[in-house]
Chain A
């Protein structure tokens, strides 16, 4: 079949839109990495001395020393308490703030102050916030709890706002059309759409607070971190190793619990489903957004 002459226009030989800027950026990145290495004295010799030192350090870590287990459990339980308290408080505060920040439900004069609050809560690393609270309220677990509460508000507030801004407004419209007052529209039109994602954020935040609660102690804000830091300073590396193992265990238990909570809330799994191998627990991640 011959083509009609009218169709044979000059087509471009390259059908893709090429862009030179990403390539220039990639070259610039490589050049900067080389420059940074020379500035920071990251050389092969330096790495070698570092490795020799590391070998000595790791040798002294083993075997772990659990003799001071009372100090260890005291620090760990304080960390756990900080994490659970901060998560609970943070979630309770983040819910209304996150809701107020949702631009599809709230007028700008409500959403902008709420967004500002969330951005402020997110702008500093928990360690910096912990230092501020140690200075403000003094050494101890209260400072750590407050610091992690602020972090939780920042994280859950932001994600909760985004989840609400992505809901289907058709469902909300239908609830509104029944003459429902605004709080009832929230309960029946909005929250059901974000509930499972919210459970996901909340368990993730508890997980993250658990990890951070082992760290705020380094700046004197309570928890196992203080014990860990003291052990480092006294070169009690075998005790350091014991603390690290205990922290890993705590985080792993937290992870398992978080998965179980997600399975129960999102998949309607029962306690016995969780014990069954290959049960509902495994499928949670895939159905998170269903």
Chain B
């Protein structure tokens, strides 16, 4: 499904953030990437949809190497990859409905986008999705009037509007309280299951990762150092991923 081959990235020449990452993500299920801050988790996720340009390596997705695409081909590939952000990244001054329809911009011509003329089935789908994520009736609210949990639901709905075949999430729960975090993870899991698409999530919270992920990948210093299921992730492995041990209870 998604295969990363020898993926490397250096923002500054000589100091790689990602080093030769090889990863194969199955056609469905949640894969969580854990690791300390600054180990390149975010860079890894952003390389996949090319928000960050990889320095070398290949990103194979649906028989294409995403690393080699540009222009129209890259935009066409991006519209099948939904992304959920840590700080939601909603367009604050637009309404919830407009934010959802943003997910269709890859399919709708710019001329129609400027006139806010979206196909009726997109609008119907958006209203249905709002009900699914529990925000029915919020369509005309401005995004900046919502709480963190509500915003992230809009963020997920926007990604789903793209009809994604792969869902990326960059620390989707790090700005949320524990209860909302669980709800958001449940929503991500539901989306992945119901659409049978793989979900790749960066996470800070190891317990949350253990609870929801079908597979956990540990990163340290820009390299993959662990790959397994939640049960394999014992204290020794965690020490290897995060270093030190004082934080383990």
User: Which residues from chain A sit less than 8 Å from chain B, CB to CB?
Assistant: 168, 170-171, 173-185, 187-189, 192-193, 195-196
A61 to chain B, nearest CB (A): 49
- Whole-angstrom distance between the alpha carbons of A192 and B144 in the complex? 12
Given contacts A175-B91, A178-B102, contact A184 B113 (CB under 8 A): yes
Could you tell me the dominant secondary structure of chain A's interface residues?
A: helix
Interface residue ranges, B against A (CB under 8 Å): 49, 51, 74-81, 83, 85, 87, 89-94, 98, 102-106, 108, 110, 113-114, 155, 158, 162
Whole-angstrom distance between the alpha carbons of A185 and B83 in the complex? Answer: 16
Residues of A close to B89: CB separation below 8 A:
170-171, 173-174
**Minimum distance in angstroms from A287 CB to a CB of chain B:** 12
Asked whether, in the complex, the Cβ of B83 is within 8 Å of the Cβ of A187, the reply is no
- Residue A178 contacts which of B90, B98, B106 (CB distance < 8 angstroms)? B106
A179-B162 contact in complex given A184-B105, A184-B113, A187-B114, C-beta closer than 8 Å: yes
- For B74, list chain A residues within 8 Å (CB): 179
CA distance A196 to B75 in the complex (A): 29
Given contacts A170-B85, A183-B110, A184-B110, contact A177 B49 (CB under 8 A): yes
Q: B93: which A residues are within 8 A, CB to CB?
A: 192-193, 195-196
A171 engages B49 (CB within 8 Å): no
In the assembly, what is the distance between CA of A180 and CA of B106, in Å?
4
Give the shortest distance, in Å, between A169 (CB) and chain B (any CB). 10
B102 → chain A closest CB, angstroms: 5
Q: Are A193 and B92 touching (Cβ within 8 A)?
A: yes
Q: Which residue of B lies closest to A171 (CB)?
A: B91
Write the nearest CB–CB distance from B122 to chain A, whole angstroms. 13
Contact partners of A181 in chain B: CB under 8 A = 75, 105-106, 110
Which residues of chain A have C-beta atoms less than 8 A from B105's C-beta? 175, 178-181, 184-185, 188
**A126 nearest CB across to chain B (Å):** 33
Listed by A's residue number, 10 A-B pairs whose Cβ atoms lie within 8 Å are: A170-B87, A174-B90, A174-B102, A177-B49, A177-B78, A178-B79, A178-B158, A184-B108, A184-B110, A188-B102
| Contact in complex: B91, A189 (CB < 8 Å) | yes
Which of A175, A193, A195, A196 is within 8 Å of B102, CB to CB?
A175
**Quick check: B85 and A179 within 8 Å, CB to CB?**
no
In order of increasing CB-CB distance, the 3 nearest A-B pairs are A179-B106, A179-B79, A180-B105
Q: For residue A170, which residue of chain B has the nearest CB?
A: B89
Most buried by B among A176, A177, A188: A177
Interface core residue of B76, B77, B90, B94 (most chain A CB under 10 Å): B94
Among A174, A179, A195, point to the contact of B76 (Cβ < 8 A): A179
Check B79–A187 contact: CB distance below 8 A. Answer: no
Within 8 Å CB of B80, what residues of A? 179
Bound complex: CA A183 to CA B76 (Å): 15
Known contacts A173-B51, A175-B105: does B91 contact A188 (CB below 8 Å)? yes
Chain B positions within 8 Å of A184 at CB level = 105, 108, 110, 113-114
In the complex, what residues of A have CB within 8 A of residue B162's CB? 178-179
Contacts A176-B51, A187-B114 supplied; 4 other A-B pairs, CB < 8 Å: A174-B102, A177-B51, A188-B113, A195-B93
Whether A174 lies near B85 (C-beta < 8 A) is yes
